[in-house]
Structure 1
Amino acid sequence: MKPTPLLLLALAGFASQANASSTEAWNALDKAVIDSCVKVSQLKNPKPAGAAALFDDTVGFNALLIKGQYKQAFMKNKTGTELCLYDRKTKKAVSTEWDNLTTRPKQ
């Protein structure tokens, strides 16, 4: 008995759907990235500054810019930016100051 082309096409369609991530899964990942990055931020009132950048699985990280105010009194609530990297494998985030990296150095 030979498989018909229609049957093969149907099976291929089911296989591709099984590999796709659901909208709920993407939303859960976005929430995990934001929550983790806000938690590790050194800024007051940290909030995401746009959407996260999703690197492929060979890298395994998401990157997110966080905006807030510096906590130190001498900074006088100056707005600051941090770059947060979220490791999808370990589900851990780390952040670093990113203010001076967004402008070109003087020559």
Structure 2
Amino acid sequence: MKTILLLLGLTALSANALASSEAAWAAYDKSVLASCLKASQLKGTQAIGSPAQFDDQVGYTALLLQGRYPQPHMKNQSGLELCLYNKQTKRAAVTEWDSVKSLKAR
């Protein structure tokens, strides 16, 4: 009986150990933001909202970025980028995401 109680207690403790703390999530979000900002082609880039956490099987976190195009022909026009952060490699990739703006107008 004591063995069963001991096993149950250890199981409960190990489940808590696997859960990430708020501080760990904040540090992760900070590294996602830093990587995404570094990968961005926009100037004055800011995150819109919080990172979207995909399941570990997918392996990515998504973050929407907003800033201004630096190219002279873009005339400082605002733009959006979607950043995908690879959890395994800890690298970010961005793509233009201005089509989202047209969805808001509908």
State the TM-score, normalized to the length of structure 1: 0.87
Structure 1, unpaired ranges of 5+: none
**Greater fraction of residues in helix:** 2
- Aligned partners of 1:94, 1:63: CA distance in 2, in Å? 10
Is 42-51 or 11-20 further displaced after alignment? Answer: 11-20
- Aligned partners of 1:80, 1:102: CA distance in 2, in Å? 9
Across the aligned residues of Structure 1 and Structure 2, the Cα RMSD in angstroms comes to: 1.6
Q: 2:94 maps to what in 1?
A: 95
Q: 2:80 maps to what in 1?
A: 81
C-alpha displacement of 1:4: 6.6
Structure 2, unpaired ranges of 5+: none
Deviation string 1:2-50 (CA, Å, 9 cap, x unpaired) is: 2376545433321211111111211111001000000010001111011
Calculate percent identity across the aligned residue pairs.
50
State the TM-score, normalized to the length of structure 2: 0.87
Equivalent residues, number = 103
> Is 1:51–2:50 an aligned residue pair?
yes
